[in-house]
Amino acid sequence: MSTHRVKIYAGFERLWHWLQALFIITLMITGFEIHGSYTLFGFERAVRIHNIIAWAFIILIVFAIFWHVTTGAWRQYKPTGDRSIVTQGRYYAFGIFKGEDHPYRKTELSKLNPLQKTTYLGFKILIVPVMVTTGLLYVFYNSWSSIWPGGLAVVAIIHALGAFILVIFLIVHVYMTSTGETVTSNVTAMITGYEEIEDEPEPEPVTV
C-alpha cells in the first residue's frame, strides 16, 4: 500500500515530549539516590538537582496545559468508550508476535490508538498530579506539619509508589515506541514531526 508523508507532531509537542522525558528521567535518578538506593551525585547535590528539575517540570506542565487547551490537542486523549481498547491490547499481547495487521490506522487528526489514549490520559490526570502534589508537600512540609503530624511518612510512601509506577510507565513506553512500522519510526517521527501514513484505499467502482 502506498504512503504519504504527513506532519503529525507540532514543534511545541516534540519539545514538550523530549523535555518531559529528560525531566522525568532526571527526577527518577536523583529521587532514588535521595532515598539511598545508590550514590551518584551525592545526597546534597541530588536534592538540589531534584528540586530544580521539579520546578522546571511544573513550569513545563503549565505551558503544556495551555497548549493542549488552546489548540484543542486535549481531544486526542478522549477515550473511545468501546471495546477497541481490548482489541488494541490483544494486538500488543499476541497479534504483534503473529504478524497480524495493526488494528488501528493512525491519521493526521487521530495520532493515538485507543490503548494509548487511556494510558496517556491516566498519566496526565492521575500519575503526574499525584507526583507534583506530593512533591510540593515535601517542599513545604514545615508549612503544614503542625496540622498533620506524621503526615510526611504518608506523603513519602505515595511519592515513592508513584515513582515506581513512572518507572514501569517509562519502560513500557520505550518498548511501545519500537512497535511502529520499523523499530525507530516512532522515535524518528517524534524528532522530525513527520511520519509516513498509509493512503486510504480507493473505493471499489460501482457496477450497474
- Give per-residue pLDDT as tens, 41-83: 999 999 999 999 999 999 999 999 999 999 998 888 887 766 7
Q: Pick the more confident residue, 193 or 80.
A: 193
CA dist list (Å): 177 to 15, 142, 153: 17, 42, 36
Position 169 scores a pLDDT of 92
Q: Partners of 7 in the beta sheet?
A: 194
Q: What are the residue boundaries of the structural domains of the chain, listed by start? A: 3-198
Q: Pick the more confident residue, 50 or 102.
A: 50
Percentage of the chain lying above the pLDDT 90 cut: 50
C-alpha–C-alpha distance, residues 14 and 195, integer Å: 13
> 7 in the Ramachandran plot: left (φ > 0), alpha (ψ -120 to 50) or beta?
beta
Position 96 scores a pLDDT of 82
Work out the angle between the directed axes of helices 11-34 and 151-176 (0-180°, nearest 10). Answer: 130
Position 162 scores a pLDDT of 93
Q: Tell the CATH superfamily of the 3-198 domain.
A: Transmembrane di-heme cytochromes, Chain C (1.20.950.20)
Number of Cβ within 10 Å of residue 63's Cβ equals: 13
Residue closest to 109 by CA, chosen among 79, 66, 73: 73
C-alpha–C-alpha distance, residues 76 and 117, integer Å: 7
* Residue type for position 81: G
- H or E element that contains 195: strand 194-198
Q: Which of 33-42, 83-92, 118-127 has the lowest mean pLDDT?
A: 83-92
Average pLDDT along the chain: 87
